[in-house]
Structure 1
Amino acid sequence: MTEHVNADYFIVLLGIFLILGVITTKLSLRFGIPALVLFMLIGMLIGSDGLGFIHFDDVHLAELTGIIALIIILFDGGLQTRWSTVKKVAAPSLTLATIGVLLTTSIIAIGAKLIFGIDWLEAFLMGAIVGSTDAAAVFSVMTGQNIKDKLSSTLEAESGTNDPMAVFLTISIIQLITSDNTNILMLIGSFFWQMGLGLGIGLLFGFIASKSINQINLDSSGLYPVLVLSLAILTYSLTSLINASGFLAVYVAALVIGNQELTYRHSIIRFNEGLAWMMQIVMFIILGLLASPPQIMSWDIIWKGILLSFILMFIARPIAVFLSISFFKFTINDKIFISWAGLRGAVPIVLATFPMIAGVENSQLMFNIVFFVVLTSALIQGSSISFLAEKLHLTGEVKASSPHMLKLVSIGKANAEMIEFEVGNDNHIIGKPLDQISFPEQALINAIIRNNKLVPSHGDTVIHKGDILYILADKKVTTTLLSILNERKEYEEFVSATSE
């Protein structure tokens, strides 16, 4: 009977957590405070050192939850990243994700040594833990912002690819502290092994997954998102089993999958987006539960944490950014913004559990300091990103997103799917009636949305810029249909001039 009551109690709390998380997200958007800060505060409030609703001190469970959440968050970020945009900033992003992390780690290590008086390896361990920006924090804060594409893409690509570097540095330094058999040459070889295999496996699994999703014919459309999620988890686990970078493999695989034409694309993306939000809520609340407010908010931690946060935000990160991308075409304002938008979040806190599990001396101090630094980074930097972008004149056009979605009964057995297509500014079908567009016979336009209103789709209906078309098509003609839809005016004019 007691076990049954405890189970019900846990389920009730889980439901309350998720509801609070959704409400908190709404409040964070209204007041400009990053949601992750509020999630962690909820965890601290209801924990054993807060209101005492839950007693939680399982570091291993917190680490496992964090890793699973990061897999899903990274995968969702990769799915929604356009390669056409990312490839323009791939070089500076990767430089920030490698050289930038090393520079940040080194400068933070010097600060940690001076502030805390710990030995150099422990100081570098603390630097490695907070050395990388956080994908969960950056993705959530940048979503919906009208920051210029070049800057937002650079930050998102950096945060998606620098986690492996931070994980590698953290684990390597822990090995140096706890083992006498580890040497620098072994660690250098391990770095190339982890990153090389992580990249290769990510590309391989991405292409295999894309082909599998499009070739397999499942009876229910709801199974496609589950299939994609299982492939993401499998990618991470198999990569990690051979001591390669599972996080890098997951992000690369998601980048490949997200830039392919997929069956039930919208269902897959919306499912992963919702799941990523849920995992953010669960992860940050659990990390908040793991923290001890009396320890973190003690005067000793506060003033030392503020000093380290100052070094991170105003010295280490700016130096790392300005040196790392000095050879790329970024303005001074661009570099200032990238420096300020390098948010810390779940990754440093999850990494801070590694020394605790390994039994490293001063690991509790590291966890408390890292937790405080993440709170200050997310609260101060995260809440001022939009303001700074406007002051530096780095905002672009407001990013519009289509609010329209058709919900269909599964048509998996019919081997057909619904395609949503927004007509761009230079699309060749603008100004043409439907009966003059050479759509495949197995494709049928079911609806047109124009200025948030439904427009009848007859043969004489003329396509306008910004129209959103919903087309039911046989899977066999999807590629042909999309090539017709994506054809530009310049290409059509060139063909016409050539034929004349």
Structure 2
Amino acid sequence: MKGDAGLVDTTQIDTYLILSAFILISGVLAAKFSNRVGLPSLVLFILLGMLVGSDGLGIVYFDSPELAQLVGIFALVIILFEGGLQTKFATVRAVALPSISLATIGVMLTSGIVGLAAYLIFDITLMQALLLGAIVGSTDAAAVFAALKERNIKAKMGATLEAESGTNDPMAVFLTIGFIELIMIPETAWWALLPEFVWQMGIGLIVGIAVGKIASIAINRVKLDSSGLYPIFSVAFALLTYGAASAAGASGFLAVYIAALVIGNSELTYRYSIFQFNEGFAWMAQILMFILLGLLVFPADLFSLDIIIGGLLLSAALIFIARPAAVYLSTLGMGYKNNEKLFLSWAGLRGAVPIILATFPIVAGVENSEFFFNIVFFVVLTSALVQGTTISPLAKRLGLMGPKKDNPHHSIELISMGKANAEMVQFKVDGDALIAGQKLKDVDFPLKASISAIVRDETLITPYGETEIQNGDFLYILVASRYKRELKRALEQKKSPQPPYS
């Protein structure tokens, strides 16, 4: 093939395409394997990257922290957006105060304690040690969302961890950049950085709410020719949110998570198409991000004796001292029992965010930054292997397992017929729902709504007037768009008031 630049090496292009296919296929199979053995998928993705890297099979050579930082930020935007879309306002509202406390006070306490431990363990300055503590101070949204997605953890625990990991990045980024500035420019006064943090949080929150509302209106009102364009439309708003917040000097990650909460809790046309696309896109982003981070590290450096010994000591300080102290102190007086605090302490997983933050000192030219990167990488692997594999057994032992999660994979296609102003709504019937136990003919549905199908125990049931609705049924209801709110009110009526968590 000949072009303006001369001959194009199609053999090289084919090789890259085959390699990309191999990586994605391996990533998907690794995710499947990880669910079966209880091993966090991020560990397998990272190991896959290390395997194909220059210290492994030597297939790919990658040594660009700048590119890894760029790809990591893009992937985290997608992962945070998908996590926010799936989160209910009612769930977040119930744990808002402890989550914010963990995301701010908790991160500061964790960073400080880990920093002091690093100062005692390694031959580095106190300021460098505090920088290292700041890098590993926050839990990771990608790791937490992935770890909890398929596990039957009680709603209160899952909501607290997810809300914390979705909102604690601003504090970690602020502390990391702040300590880099203090190291590189010693005359900088630390208190001069505080207004910057307030600005990052406040403007990030405002941008997230504003873009979220604009996106919700645009998705519903802009009539696109293809349903496949709506998910792309939603992703564009996620990227716009991050870019707008960052351009204003605010936290792009916080803005994206807040925007996703607003969008996900709004009435949307093509809702299920948007959700399903973003779930798949988030998985792809997670696979590529962790594999790329695995490529960035060199196992010969990572598993040297000084990294192993120092990394294990710092991991122990983080897991057994810093995180528990941060959880117990930042949730004082908030109604959490000791078993719940113990679980929150153990389930504070580290993942992509600390590794990406560890590239900041490298890019800035901070002394010992390569050493910091390897230590942080080792700590993340230790956290994922030790904590990630034991979340479910610990939750079971502490009595914090919830009901089994239902993720239906039925062959009924969920559709939103924008041009016909009608939608197919999926609804799972809980035991306390008013319609549970009623016959279809006795249910007071809106006039412009009709049940098209019922799926019960993976079996399709054709509904008619005498059909009784049972606990656990999945109802598929065709409804005119203008009656969707009325239908939702009818479906969500309860037999008796229930507390948000039991």
Q: For this structure pair, what is the TM-score category when the shorter chain's length is used for normalisation?
A: over 0.9
Does 2:74 correspond to 1:68? yes
Amino acid at match of 1:133: T
Q: Tell me the distance in 2 between the aligned counterparts of 1:490 and 1:396.
A: 20
User: Of 211, 231, 235, which aligns to 2:217?
Assistant: 211
User: Residue 447 of structure 1 aligns with which residue?
Assistant: 453
Per-residue CA shift, 1:95-116, capped at 9, x if unaligned? Answer: 1110010011111111111111
User: Residues 366 and 167 from structure 1, CA distance in 2 versus in 1: closer, same or farther, beyond 3 angstroms?
Assistant: same
The offset of 1:245, in angstroms, is 0.4
The correspondence for 2:129, drawn from 119, 123, 145, is: 123
Task: Report what 2:95 is aligned to.
Answer: 89
Correspondence for 2:232 among 206, 226, 237:
226
Give the CA deviation at 1:330.
Answer: 1.4
2:151 counterpart (145, 151, 161): 145
Residue number in structure 1 paired with 2:280: 274
SS of the aligned residue for 1:487 comes to coil
- The aligned counterpart of 1:473 is 479
Which residue of the partner structure matches residue 356 of structure 1?
362
Q: How far, CA to CA, are the matches of 1:139 and 1:21 in structure 2?
A: 17
2:416, 2:422 within 8 Å by CA — same for their partners in 1?
no
Kept in 2, the 8 Å contact 1:447–1:469? The answer is yes
Contact 1:138 1:159 in 2 (8 A): yes
1:262 counterpart SS class:
coil
Match of 1:341 among 340, 347, 361: 347
Partner of 1:265: 271
More deviation in 79-88 or 104-113? 79-88
Instruction: Identify the residue that residue 295 of structure 1 maps to in structure 2.
Output: 301
Q: 67-76 vs 80-89, which deviates more? A: 80-89
Residues 427, 488 of structure 1: 8 Å contact kept: yes
Aligned partner of residue 427 in structure 2, secondary structure: strand
Amino acid at match of 1:344: R
2:468 — aligned with what? 462
Q: Does 1:254 align with 2:248?
A: no
- Asked whether 1:309 is paired with 2:315, we answer yes
Contact kept? 1:220, 1:412, Cα under 8 Å: no
Give the partner amino acid of 1:227.
F
Query: Which of 325, 328, 348 is equivalent to 1:319?
Result: 325
| Corresponding letter in the other structure for 1:217 | K
User: 1: distance between equivalents of 2:224 and 2:495?
Assistant: 37
Superimposed CA distance per residue, residues 135-162 of structure 1 (whole angstroms, 9 cap, x where no aligned partner): 1111111112122211111111111111
Paired residue type of 2:290: F
Q: 1:490 to 1:33 in 2, by over 3 A?
A: closer
Does the C-alpha gap of structure 1 residues 267 and 127 become closer, same or farther in structure 2, counting only changes over 3 Å?
Answer: same
1:172 CA displacement: 1.4
CA distance in 2, matches of 1:145, 1:5: 44
C-alpha deviation, 1:441, in angstroms:
3.4
What code does the residue aligned with 1:393 have? G
Code of the aligned partner of 1:313: I
Give how far 1:485 is off: 1.9
Q: Deviations over 1:53-80 (max 9, x none)?
A: 0011011110011000000111111111
Tell whether the 8 Å contact from 1:28 to 1:34 is kept in structure 2 after alignment: yes
* 1:114 matches 2:138: no
Distance across 2 between alignment mates of 1:465 and 1:410: 26
Over aligned residues, Cα RMSD in angstroms?
A: 1.7
1:135 aligns with 2:141: yes
Bigger Cα displacement from structure 2, 323-332 vs 448-457: 448-457
What residue number does 2:500 align with? none
- Is residue 220–residue 410 contact of structure 1 (8 Å, CA) maintained in 2? no
In the alignment, what sits opposite 1:35? 41
After alignment, is 88-97 or 253-262 more displaced?
A: 253-262
Q: Secondary structure at the match of 1:136?
A: helix
Deviates more, 1:384-393 or 1:437-446: 437-446
Q: Give, in whole Å, the separation in 1 of the partners of 2:279 and 2:157.
A: 22
Query: CA–CA distance in 2 between the matches of 1:387 and 1:64?
Result: 36
Provide, for residues 361-408 of structure 1, a one-character-per-residue CA deviation record: whole Å limited to 9, x for no partner: 110000010001101110111011111112222222222233325226
The answer to whether the Cα contact below 8 Å between 1:321 and 1:335 also exists between their aligned partners in 2 is yes
One-letter amino acid matched to 1:276: A
AA of the residue aligned to 1:35: S
The alpha carbon displacement at 1:472 in A equals: 1.8
Q: CA offsets, 1:5-42, max 9 Å, x none?
A: 22222111111000000111111112221110111111
2:170 aligned residue (161, 164, 169): 164
Alignment-derived partner of residue 375 in structure 1: 381
Q: Distance in 2 between matches of 1:33 and 1:469?
A: 34
In structure 2, distance between residues paired with 1:431 and 1:177: 66
Give the partner amino acid of 2:160.
T
What is aligned with 2:407? 401
Letter in 2 for 1:396: G
- Measured after TM superposition, the shift of residue 410 of structure 1 is 7.2
Give the CA deviation at 1:337.
Answer: 1.1
State the secondary structure of the residue aligned to 1:470: strand
Alignment-derived partner of residue 3 in structure 2? none
The answer to whether the 8 Å contact 1:62/1:286 transfers is yes
Please give the alpha-carbon distance, in whole angstroms, between the structure 2 residues aligned to 1:263 and 1:181: 54
Aligned amino acid, residue 170 of structure 1: T
Distance 1:409 1:400, change over 3 A: closer
Provide the identity percentage: 56
Distance 1:439 1:217, change over 3 A: farther
- Distance (whole Å) between structure 1 residues aligned to residue 399 and residue 442 of structure 2: 44
Q: Out of 185, 190, 214, which is 1:179 matched to?
A: 185
Determine the C-alpha separation between the residues in 1 that align with 2:445 and 2:291.
50
Say if 1:435 and 1:218 are closer, same or farther in 2 by CA, change over 3 A. farther
Aligned mates of 1:14, 1:295 — CA distance in 2: 26
Q: Distance in 1 between matches of 2:362 and 2:10?
A: 33
Contact 1:217–1:415 at 8 Å: present in 2 too?
no
Deviation at 1:2, TM superposition (A): 5.8
For 1:424 and 1:243, locate their aligned partners in 2 and report how far apart those are by CA, in whole Å: 45
From 226, 238, 243, the counterpart of 1:237: 243
Aligned partner of 1:392 among 387, 395, 398: 398
> Are the structure 2 counterparts of residues 433 and 394 from structure 1 closer, same or farther at C-alpha, using a change threshold of 3 Å?
closer
Aligned to 1:497: none
Verify the 8 A CA contact 2:271 2:416 in the aligned structure 1.
no
Equivalent residues of 2:441, 2:466 under 8 A apart: yes
2:208–2:258: 8 Å Cα contact kept in structure 1?
Answer: yes
User: Any gaps of 5 or more consecutive residues in structure 1?
Assistant: 492-500
SS of 2:479's partner is strand
CA-CA distance at 1:335 after TM superposition: 1.2
**Which residue does the alignment assign to 2:289?**
283
The aligned amino acid for 2:81 is F
Structure 1 residues 212-269: Cα deviation after superposition (integer angstroms, max 9, x where no partner): 2222222222111111111111001000001100000001111111122221221111
